[in-house]
Structure formats: structure tokens, C-alpha cells
Chains A and B, each alone.
Chain A
Amino acid sequence: MKKILIVEDDKFLRELIAKKILAEGYDAAEAKDGEEGLKKIEAEKPDLVLLDLVLPGMTGFDILKSVQENPLLSDIPIIVFSNLGQRDDVDKAINLGAKDFLIKAHFTPQEIIERIKSILK
């Protein structure tokens, strides 16, 4: 069973998307901030990470950078899902190795699952 790590500080959002992921037959892990997120990426080696950008402490960009710089982790696909959406942010995330960039408010959970599926295919 493929494991998806959700790094998201908003509890309700995290729970909603985790519920959806579980319903789709994936294993879901959760992290509520950047530090925890990076730790879980290192410890649990998930098959995919859903990563928020604005997080308390370590930001999503910092995590992307750490993952990109770590050869053991750099193969893990990361989908950024954030409510930032300016071109600068998107470019920055893609340059730091993000596989996709989703603006949370513009996607339904189903659409997010479809993106996940297309990457894990």
C-alpha cells in the first residue's frame, strides 16, 4: 500500500484530505509543521508527499530544499498544495523539485487524488 505524507498545519484540512486519501486506498501519514514533516519524510520514506508551503517554523520551501539536497530522499515525489499561487512561488517550488503545484482552493479532493494517481502511476 502506497503511503502518502500530508504536511499541512490546518488540522481540519489535514483530516479532510487524509480521509479522502484513505478512502482511495492509500496509507496516510500526517505532519502538522515543517520540522515534523521533514522528520517523517526521513523516517517513513513515503511514496509521495503533499506539502503545504506556509507552515510554522520551517516552510515548505525549506523542506523542498532539504529533500532536493538529500540523495536518499530526492526521488520522493512532492506535490505542493498551497494557497500561495503567484508565479514566483510556483516557479520557486518547481525549481526546488516539486512535481506539481496545486492551489488548494482551486481543487476538489477528487482532483487532488487524480493528480496523486497520475504521479504514482
Chain B
Amino acid sequence: MSLKQVKYIQIDDRRGTLYSAGKQSLLVPTTFIRVLSKTFIRLVDKEGAGILISKIGESIGRGYAQSLAAILKKEKAEINKKTRIQLGCNAIFMEAGWGRLKILEIDLSQSMLKVEIYRAPSMEFLKESRYNLERGILTGVYEEITGQQVYTKLLKENRKERCVVLSVCKEIPGGIEKKEEMVFVTRQRLEELVKKRTKELEDSRKALMNVLEEVTKAREKAEEEKNKTLAVITNLVDGLLVFDSRDKLVLINPQAEMLLNIGSGEVLNKTATELENIAKIQPVIILLAKGAEKNRRQELALQEDFILDITIVPLMKPAASYRRQKGANGKSGSLMILHNISREKLIEKIKSGFVSLAAHQLRTPLSAIKWALRMVLDEETGNVSREQRELLERTYQSNERMIRLINDLLNVVRIEEGKTIINLAPANLDEVVQAMINSFREKIVLKEMNLKYHQPAKKLPAITIDREKIEIALANLIDNALNYTPNKGTIEIFLTADKQNVEFTIQDNGVGIPKNQQKGIFSKFFRGENVVKIETEGTGLGMFIAKNIIEAHGGKIWFKSEENKGTTFHFSLPITN
């Protein structure tokens, strides 16, 4: 215990009168020096710092002060020797508002005050308190201790919170035993604290309720979303299989069960490898194993007349979420959509059959007309007059036109069926172009055309094409150049290649395509206004067919044309396709 030497005692009766206890030295515990300030009885140390013992109640007044001073003065001789100063005063209060503690004794050795506790109406005592004075949190057990005499020492005080913490000790034989801590707080403050605490609890209860409510709402929403998704999946007209990142089947909808004729219990939660052993689902599962990062579509005939269109979609995690995980490829599973296209396939087959039959049926009478006219014209049945020949020749040409129209219609039907390319094989385009030019030899001679073919400088690499279809495209382009260039005109054909593409160019100095009509040139049944007048033949399907054929090969087709100057068509085909 540290003691401070006090030089003299001043007693202030609050009316400004100072009673000095003289120049005696007095050792006083530093605890008191620190705590007891603003005093009427001041103990002043050598450095002149004042210390409070207590404030004297108004009722006691000067008399008490005098008597205390007298006591101190009278006993000054003994003070240094004694460890306990008996204060026979009536009542000494701690700071106003702290309640009443009648100081009975100052124990210098223990740095304790012996006090009797008075309970002021405005004060409360809380024992065994857990407190945090700084934060104003106060909990504890209220206990009636009024009237008890205890040894006490001030541990903490907080003026703002208007409370102090005292250690409360009991006298036991041979000393003082520390018993408990006691918070001494004004009732008003206590009420404030209780209110505050209640409000805090109420607030946190509300907050908790809100959180609960939000959680409930979120759960309900999630449930609703889940139900919605499930309803969509269940009622989807397509079959749906969902695999997780390890290719385990985690979802199968009723349509998929129906299409594959399998129960979910047989397949659910099994891996792709396990499923491959189930005959009914095996042909579908092996498609999954082909694995790719992109969407894939494939037709699968489970039976001759039962065809599924299967789309496999890899489910990718958002880029941001998997970049953090090392080694993850971002695939969180796969989706397999089974679409029953049996009916479409059947209709396609019927349509295809119908077109084929119709073509046959139309061609038969046209063949008969063609053959009969030809035989008459070739005078196999007798002489034909000049006038008759002219008529019959024109009839023959009309018939030829009809035959060509049917060919074109058949080609259009095949394009619309998606059967543009059937037989892909490597071919030398140079050879194909030459053969096509040769097939027009007769017409070139007849029209006295100057047709030049500029062969490629180097041997062209073989490209993979459907030769028959490319021939149709070439024939249409060459035929157009011949038809729409006046006699004795010039047609130039170029074939060039770079590393990626082979390019075919056909340039004529013919009638050209009017600027305002150039947009529609590749559409079905297009015919230039200028050419309809001069050339009544032509189905208007040639360029539509050519474009579809070139594009089906992954190529491009384009042109430049000026009316009465000529037209240049180009197409390019990729070398590696």
C-alpha cells in the first residue's frame, strides 16, 4: 500500500470558512487521494494536491467540521502511529448522488473505509455485479444491504454513468476478508440502464424476428422457385437428364423415363459408367462420354421409327466462381435434352417420298412429249415442213423448260430438307470446272461466245465437296452468264487459291442486274426485270440453289453487277472443311 504524506488538513464548511488542522504531517492512502476530491474536508499533501474524505451534509454544518478538525488535531500525535482513525462522526457522505455511506473508520493499513450503508431513496445497490461501466452495461443481483457495516474500498467510478464500484469486505478474526464487489448506482441511472437494456433486448428481439421472417420468406421463395423449376422440368414435353460434375445422374424427368422406358429408381444417382451397363439407356449415355465443352446435337434412332434428337449442354459455372479453385475446369455437370422427332422424321420421309413420286409422275409425261417431239423433229416419221418444225421446236423448248423447272424444284426440296450435301469426297475443283465448261460447249459455239478459262497457276489442293451439288452450282452460274450475255460476248472464268480458300470467279459483259434488284438475287423465284423481257426461260431458282449449296460447304458467294456492263460472280470454298 502506498501512502502519501499529507501536510495539513483544511476543512471547508462550504461557506468559505477554512479550518486548518495545522502543519502536521499525515500519511493518507493514495486510494483516497485519487478518489476523494472536491471536498469540504481536504487533506492536502506536500505538493498541495487536495484530497477529499467526504462531503459534509448540510445538517451537520460547521459544528461537525469543527469537531472533525478537532478530532484530527487532537489525535494528530497518534495518527502516525495508529492504523485506524476512529471517526466518531454522525454521518459522512460520499459525493452527492452516490448515496450514503457513513464512514465509521479509516483503515490506513488496508486502505479501507469502514462504512455503514444508508440507503437513500434514490439509490440502488447491486451486488455481485458484472459490469462494464464504460459501456454502461449493468447486470447484477439487487440486495438489501442497508444498515450493514462493511469495509469498503472504491475500485472504479464513472461519473458519466453515475455509478461506482466498491469492494465490500467483511471483518473476520485477524483481518478483513474480501467478499464481493458492489455497484452503487443511482436509481434514476439504474432505470435508464434498465430501459436502455430493455430497449436493446427489444431491438435485438425485433431484429431477430426480422431476420427470422426474412429467412422464412427466403425459404418460402426458394421453395417456390424450386417447385416452379420442378414443375417446369416435370411438365416439359422434352425428356431431361441432369448429370453432376462427376457424371452422376441427379435428375430425370417423367418424359425422359417414358422415352427411354425406364424407371427413375433404376438409374438415379448412378454414374455414367454404371448406366452404360443398362441396355435401355446405354445408347443415350455413350453420347455423354464423347464429352465436349460445347453444346452438341445428335439424332439417335432407338428403333427404326423411334428417333430422338439429343442435345447435350455442358453446365458451366460462372467464370468468376471457378477461377478461384485451382484445377477446376468450370464444368458443374451436363444437361441432356431428349426431343422425340419420330413424327417429324416420318413426315420428312413421307414428304421426301411424295416429292420423289411427284417428280417421277411429272417427268413421265414430259419424257413422252420430249421423245415424241424429238422423233418427229428428227423426221423419223416423215418430212416436217419449215413452219411445222418451228412450232414443234418451240414446243420442245417449252417442254425442256418444264423438265428443268422440275429439276430445280427437286433441288429446292432437298435443300429445304437439309439434304444439300450428301456425298462428300475429295475432288479437284479445276477438273470439275473444266468438265462443266465442256458440258456447255454446244451452247457456247451456238452463241459464238468467247469463253476463256484461266486455270490456276499451281495445282489446286483437293477439297472435300459433294461433287454433284457443286456441279449444279457451277452449271447455274455458267448457264446464267451464257443466257444473259448477248451473242459474241465475252465470259472469263478464273480459279485461284490461297492457303485457306479456293475461289471461283465468272465474269461476263452481259446485261447485268439492275441495282435496285440486286438485293433479292439469292431469293427463291428471283428474276431480273431486264432479263424477263429478253429471255423468258429460267425458273428463278438457280442462284437460290447455288447459294445454298456453296454455304452448305462452308463457303461464300457474292457478286458485282452493273446494268448493261456485265456481272461478276465469285464463290469461295474452304480448303479444309
* C-alpha spacing A106/B400, complex, angstroms: 9
**A10 contacts B368, CB within 8 Å?**
yes
**A84 contacts B375, CB within 8 Å?**
no
Q: Given the known A-B contacts A10-B368, A19-B375, A109-B371, are A104 and B363 also in contact in the complex, defined by CB atoms under 8 Å?
A: yes
* C-alpha spacing A20/B366, complex, angstroms: 17
**B368 contacts A13, CB within 8 Å?**
yes
Closest chain A residue to B367 by CB distance?
Answer: A104
Q: In the complex, which range does the number of interface residues on chain A fall in?
A: 20 to 34
Q: Note all chain B residues with C-beta closer than 8 A to A105.
A: 363, 366-367, 370, 403, 406
**B380 contacts A10, CB within 8 Å?**
no
**Taking the nearest CB of chain A, how far is it from the CB of B77, in angstroms?**
137
* C-alpha spacing A88/B410, complex, angstroms: 14
Q: Note all chain A residues with C-beta closer than 8 A to B375.
A: 16, 19-20, 109
Q: Does B303 contact A (CB under 8 A)?
A: no
Q: Note all chain A residues with C-beta closer than 8 A to B370.
A: 105, 108
Q: Given the known A-B contacts A83-B359, A106-B403, are A13 and B380 also in contact in the complex, defined by CB atoms under 8 Å?
A: no
Q: Note all chain A residues with C-beta closer than 8 A to B356.
A: 84, 86
Q: How many A-B residue pairs have CB under 8 A?
A: 58
**B422 contacts A87, CB within 8 Å?**
yes
* C-alpha spacing A108/B410, complex, angstroms: 21
Closest chain B residue to A20 by CB distance?
Answer: B375
Q: Note all chain A residues with C-beta closer than 8 A to B423.
A: 87
Closest chain A residue to B375 by CB distance?
Answer: A109
* C-alpha spacing A19/B378, complex, angstroms: 13
**1/0 per position for A1-36, CB-CB distance to B under 8 A?**
000000000101100110110010000000000000
* C-alpha spacing A83/B378, complex, angstroms: 23
**A13 contacts B403, CB within 8 Å?**
no
Give the contacting residue for A110; candidates B359, B366, B368, B378; CB below 8 A: B378
Q: Does A58 contact B (CB under 8 A)?
A: no
Closest chain B residue to A86 by CB distance?
Answer: B356
Q: Does A76 contact B (CB under 8 A)?
A: no
Q: Does B192 contact A (CB under 8 A)?
A: no
* C-alpha spacing A16/B368, complex, angstroms: 8
**Taking the nearest CB of chain B, how far is it from the CB of A67, in angstroms?**
22
**Taking the nearest CB of chain A, how far is it from the CB of B208, in angstroms?**
76
Q: Note all chain A residues with C-beta closer than 8 A to B280.
A: none
Q: Does A54 contact B (CB under 8 A)?
A: yes
Q: Given the known A-B contacts A20-B375, A106-B403, are A12 and B468 also in contact in the complex, defined by CB atoms under 8 Å?
A: no
* C-alpha spacing A73/B412, complex, angstroms: 40
Top 5 nearest A-B pairs by Cβ distance? A83-B363, A104-B367, A83-B360, A105-B363, A108-B374
Interface residues of B (CB under 8 A from A): 356-357, 359-360, 363-364, 366-368, 370-372, 374-375, 378, 380, 403, 406, 410, 414, 422-423, 468
